[in-house]
Amino acid sequence: MDTIKLKYGCNPHQKNAQIYCDKLPIKVLNGNPGYINLMDALNSYQLVRELDISLNLPAAASFKHVSPAGAAVYYPLNDDEKKMYFVKDELSELAVAYTRSRGADRLSSFGDFVALSRECDESTARCINKEVSDGVIAPSYSEKALEILKKKRKGSYTVIQIDKEYIAPKNEKREIFGITFEMDRNDVIFDKSYLENIVTEKKEFPKSAIIDLIVATIAVKYTQSNSVCYSYRGQTIGVGAGGQSRIHCTRLAAEKSDRWLLRMHPKVLNLPFKEKLSRNTKDNVIEQYLNEKREIDLFNEETLNLYFDGKVEVLSEKEKEEYLKNINSICLSSDAFFPFEDNIYRAKRSGVNYIVQPGGSIRDEEVIKACNDLGIVMAFSNLRLFHH
């Protein structure tokens, strides 16, 4: 029996934590992972593995508290995205996927666990090294990448290697309050075949939407339910996780999606930050700048001198609305059916034109009608993806 002793369980007072298996498929190459680290690692690796299988593209994920803050496949960065993500160097395809996953929700990714679908190369390791992160899991590491990562966090950064040939048993078990639960694993790999049952008047998904719907759906498969995910250009841009009400998930994911899109507004891209500000400080300032109800007054003299070299113009709510209303190719996936059409109307306000959901609600026809009225293409996958 292979065993790895852990720092502690979910919390420091929960001692005697370990993982074990007849033959563990992972090796800890550096650091000392905790219980939640490994929950993040094993869930996130499944996500990126399935993205790579489905789309045959390098994939990456940024996980926090057993849900993705971001997930992405390789999709070339445009100039605005490079500026938004603080990219100055040429990146490998895997490094681009990582940069996208980390950039989906940079505030939520602070202190994340990273998953990579392919060997971690030097380019990706250098990107990871710039961020505040707890650890990384990948099937292998180049010699230079491992050297870089082993020095991160004063040598304590967790680096895990997983056997890429490992296939989990079909049956899985967990224990709650001394009682063992058992079921078949959710081993379905979502691909474009699940997008064929288009139920709306509009009947075509462009190729870019097919990629984005697959990204969003595999992401919600590994997001604590209820969950809704918005995606665009090969990455998630808004994840609404763990809500008891689906409309609340839809709203939360929409708000995150809107903020991601607004980060490319010219006023945001051209904020005159002081040169020595950290990336995390810039992220926090941008969040405040985009927030109508700011916790910090960014426009008083003291704050301006602290963060900026030059004048800063307010981005008005009207300007935000004008910018966002021109975007209409966002994709959305839901882990279960939409019980009411209010989700569709809210999604449309954030530029959603393509949707996949399982279907099966007694109000399916009302939801379909809302999509038809708004010109949205929607498919029923007939595949519920609750995750707990």
Instruction: Write down the catalytic residue from 65, 83, 192, 267.
Output: 65
Handedness of CA 230, 124, 190, 210 (dihedral sign): positive
Active site residue 65: yes
Active site residue 64: yes
Of 220, 217, 243, the C-alpha closest to 379 is: 217
Of 357, 387, 353, the C-alpha closest to 371 is: 353
Q: Determine the 3-state secondary structure of 223 from DSSP.
A: coil
Active site residue 226: yes
d(CA 367, CA 380): 11
Burial 66-97 (b: 16+ CB within 10 A, else e): bbbbbbbbbbebeeebbbbbebeeebbbbbbb
* CB atoms closer than 10 angstroms to residue 360: 13
Instruction: Write down the catalytic residue from 173, 276, 318, 388.
Output: 388
Instruction: Write down the catalytic residue from 30, 37, 226, 353.
Output: 226
Q: Is 128 within 8 Å of 94 (Cβ atoms)?
A: no
Helix (H) and strand (E) counts in the chain:
13, 15
CA dihedral 204, 208, 213, 214 (to 10 degrees): 120
Active site residue 293: no
Instruction: Write down the catalytic residue from 64, 265, 348, 387.
Output: 64
**Strand order, beta sheet including 112-116:** 26-30, 158-162, 133-138, 112-116, 59-64, 67-73, 235-241, 227-232, 330-334, 352-357, 377-380
Q: Which element (helix H / strand E) includes 361?
A: none
* Residues carrying an active site annotation: 64-65, 226, 388
